[in-house]
Structure 1
């Protein structure tokens, strides 16, 4: 891995990535210890309390460690927030990406941490505690899975592609929900296989690893999309909004794809 040119004090961004990965893995261990039985809930309030317990368990480990690594960086308090951040450095963390899956004893969940500098992701770590896999990316230095380089798919035919999306969040605007439904219908005609599930980040690591060929989402939070955006870009993929325009955290849609199918995916989502 080529070391990032950015160095602050005596710590390079490459060193910071390694230390961030250690912190995320330690926090992931605390969430793995809570995994196993289905957590039963009868009301929305009980669900929200169970989700918060998982978040708090991870943050008790992760926040002090990341704040110690970068004490001057801001901290995004709500992982469901979207839009641009103020200037400077910010930690964007999802302590339990796929939290509802964890509660249901499903394996699709992760812990993520991304350092954002002036609204550009600089480094990211996505750790899957159940498998022990750690995905990392450093701006300008590539994307890796446990140290091995990642590369997006070479496919050039959307009709032979596996694509994926993630549903709108609970209580999402009706217009967005309908966009999700119509986009799935369009892709069912144009792609080979369409996968729909949460969380977004796990689809995006699959795009970066070349396992699936494109992922799209309407709306979405920074913590859902920033880790995958950096991983896919550094693995040679293309990231835009659904119309093919440059993506930022305030965009209303998101598309990450292998270069060979990006234009076809834009055409499918735009009709």
Structure 2
């Protein structure tokens, strides 16, 4: 189970158990490494079996499972195996995500469906499957990784932003429903982050120009690093249960709450 620490000390997770969706690469891999370094045993659930296994081979106390987060049956099988091998669940990190930068008028329903399948249904499925186990455990933590696009909107990311905005609202709603069970539910919203997905997106010339403009508009003039997002996720994973329903941007000041 998790252990409490002073806010002045690095988060310590004792013998906590965790599931990280989309944990094979980028932000997800940084989260896995940070949770494991804090003492947690971690199950990585990812569609990229090879990358997930490579990470598990690299990081002690981590193992890999393959599932499609947007498919409830696939996730049910993976979560069941994860919780059996972990001997219970303390922390769920809903990190799996995908984006395709394109103006909404130029998109078609199959793209919307894929974005919703991964970015929103994935959060629903994993949370739905984790909640009974967290209740049985006597409490726990859910940390959702959304995006500042869901807070303020983003050109050429309308459906992605809608999914992330939905994740933010979902976070607050589930936090209200589960507080009496000792389950804290919070959300981290990264700004543009230096990941393989961002490099893939920037292959499009218009998308690259947009990202460059965003970096110039950021007060510290740089992209976030995956490790910085992982620190925020681990903060929520180790925080008291009374810290719940909160949305934290990690964007270098690109967006600031009023």
Quick check: TM above 0.5? no
TM-score (norm 2): 0.30
Q: Which has the higher helix share?
A: 2
TM-score (norm 1): 0.29
